[in-house]
Amino acid sequence: MKQKEKDLFSVRLRVVGGYIRSHQLPKLAEIANKYGRGHIHLTTRQGIEIPYVHIKDFRNLKKELVEVGLEVGACGPRVRTITACQGGSCSHGLIDSQKIAKEIDKRLFGKSGLPHKLKIGVTGCPNACIKPQENDIGIMGIMSKICKQDLCNLCGLCAEVCPVKAIKIKKGKLEFDENKCIGCGDCVFSCPTGAWEKVTEGCRLFLGGKMGKFPKLGIKAIDSIWSRDEVLRIVEQVFEFYKREGRKGERLRDTLERLGLEYFIGKYCD
């Protein structure tokens, strides 16, 4: 990425979900001292940049990155750094967001031929720490569950922790409004008797989010996808849709607003 100073660049690395191995860090420090000005920059998308690199040093810098399994990231109209929380280890996580991000990165990172940049974020649960609604493609972990009424002692704890008040205790009976439920699983985690039971975990898909001069939050395109393979397939279909249907300089949100979400769902997701 070109800087203001003549012949100086900020070198962006390929980092998935903010994941860097400890043995790679000393080499990054060495490279920053050798080719830059002794510091690195942590980006808003969990990436790493080495500023103040002279263009004549770029080739040697790339070679040294490869020595520890690192490579240069992507700029321009292509798939950018894929962000992810620690959903696989977080106590609130419903999906292994790092694993999904790595698989998407493997399939799509750096792919060109797009009208504009394409940003993807994977978050482990509806707490949305990775801000999936701010991405062109946002993936959120969700949970489906059932309540075994015969195990429920009507303690009301699930109703207290439900953030959207989808659960109520009325006249000695538990009532659950599935239309209000956001799939966070707090009821399952809090239930002392095991009355609330997880059925499966899946994903919710948001499309068309973007920040910048004209920010818009992503549209909830598909409320629930219960297969990881299906999630990956649909993400690839979004890429193909944007590549084929998008106009030069148009963000995914603009393409969706021009053609309609129903058009994408009908032609690319069936």
Residues 214 and 194 in one domain: no
Q: What is the pLDDT of residue 127?
A: 98
Q: What is the pLDDT of residue 121?
A: 98
Q: What is the pTM of this model?
A: 0.95
- For the stretch 212-231, what's the b/e string if a residue is b when 16 or more beta carbons lie within 10 angstroms of its beta carbon? eeeebbbbebbeebeebeeb
Report yes or no on 76 lying in a domain: no
Number of domains in the chain: 3
Task: Please state at what angle helix 252-259 crosses helix 261-268, rounded to 10 degrees.
Answer: 90
- Other CB atoms within a 10 A radius of the CB of residue 13 amount to 20
User: What is the residue range of 45's domain?
Assistant: 8-66
| pLDDT per position as a tens digit, 169-204 | 998 899 999 999 999 999 999 999 999 999 999 999
Radius of gyration of the chain (CA): 22
Q: What is the pLDDT of residue 184?
A: 98
Q: What averages of pLDDT result for each successive group of 10 residues across the chain (270 residues)?
A: 92 96 97 98 96 98 97 92 96 97 95 95 98 98 96 96 97 94 98 97 98 96 97 98 97 98 93
Q: What is the pLDDT of residue 111?
A: 87
Residues 190 and 217 in one domain: no
Angstrom distances, CA of residue 173 to CA of 150, 154, 159, 168, 270: 11, 7, 12, 8, 40
Residues 167 and 249 in one domain: no
